[in-house]
Structure 1
């Protein structure tokens, strides 16, 4: 939460073309938590080198669900890249779930993956390794500096669209065409 009491949780943070950070360039990040200590989110449009099947196998979890096994694990961010995060819908909570808002949850416990492997998991889910974090006031300053565009979260961007389309579609949800957006911006 910033000094004006704004909470950016359950919003998509879209990297503007002017953001030249190689890790976050053209990224879309769901802000999962935003409070007086800073912000935390998970990138939702960058594939990792792993599939969910490989992660399940590494964890010793068996699954016959071919579609689940083939699902790409996302590179969620540079913080804790060894740690798994499951972003999902549904009313059921797991051992370690954070209520993101809008019916979305972020779970870091093994039980959600075990349920997914049995076909008893949430209706919609994505698996990511790592997350992104911002210190106190850092995200707010980056927004002022025109590094990011902030838009309300959309389930289709998170779960349905191909990864390559999520950056433009997220911005398009509020009428912004990033492909025609100037690569620099300024303040009058």
Structure 2
């Protein structure tokens, strides 16, 4: 992903003032910032939900997007969601989705309706849907919401496996959880990204 000179404002309030960011393959990166710093606006632009007023975003492959606010149908089961997205993505099978579900311990809920799932289990489904087409880049907005400790660890194992396969992951959060696991960490402040030091090998 190559992001160049992204600007965006809401009326007279400037939110993004020239964002530059480049992510190569096999990179775990994070963006942190206070509430209201423009994280959600930036992520919507990266996910092509919002057109920047200036600048451009270029992708060298497919991306997956896991938004903070779940976009799930409470009347459908987990498997029905997978089938719907399988067709939308053009996936031949659900093999990859089922592997991700096994890693996240979601498989036992395949026939459950979303309406009866806990917040953490819904987030597992959200993450599975974002990954089931094997994207080159995964965009995550506050991905840890509702995760218990075991799932939190499994999430990082999954992220590390993606990195080893040459995939990239961008995590946007208001706190720098486990910053030492990241290759890059950026602080969004006053509309600009400022690099911060991490302890990743």
TM-score with structure 2 length normalisation? 0.27
Higher relative contact order (CA 8 A, sep 6+): 2
Higher strand fraction: Structure 1 or Structure 2?
Answer: 1
TM-score with structure 1 length normalisation? 0.28
